[in-house]
Amino acid sequence: APLIGVLALQGASDAHCRMLEQRGARVRNVRRPADLDGLDGLILPGGESTAMLRLMDREGLFEPLRRAVQSLPCLGTCAGTILLAETVEPVQPSFAALPITVTRNAYGRQNDSAILNAQTALDGGPLEMVFIRAPRIDAVGEGVTVLARRGDDPVLVQKGHTLACTFHPELGSDPRVHAYFLAQIGHH
Ligand code: GLN
Give the separation between CA 164 and CA 115, rounded to whole angstroms: 18
Which of 78, 161, 165, 178 does the annotation list as catalytic? 78
How far, in Å, is the centroid of ligand 1 from the Cα of 45?
Answer: 9
- For 133-171, strand residue ranges (E) read 136-140, 145-150, 153-159, 162-165
Give the model's pLDDT for residue 88.
Answer: 98
CB 135 within 8 A of CB 78: yes
The helix or strand, by DSSP H or E, that contains position 74, with its residue range, turns out to be strand 74-77
Give the model's pLDDT for residue 82.
Answer: 98
Binding-site residues for L-glutamine, in ranges, read: 47-49, 104, 132-133
Domain boundaries, the chain: 3-186
CATH number of the domain at 3-186, please?
Answer: 3.40.50.880
pLDDT in tens, the chain (188 residues): 999 999 999 988 999 999 999 999 999 999 999 999 999 999 999 999 999 999 999 999 999 999 999 999 999 999 999 999 999 999 999 999 999 999 999 998 777 899 999 899 999 999 999 999 999 999 999 999 999 999 999 999 999 999 999 999 999 889 999 999 999 997 65
Q: Whose CA is nearest to atom 5 of ligand 1?
A: 79
Shortest-distance atom of ligand 1 to CA 131 = 9
The helix or strand, by DSSP H or E, that contains position 102, with its residue range, turns out to be strand 98-103
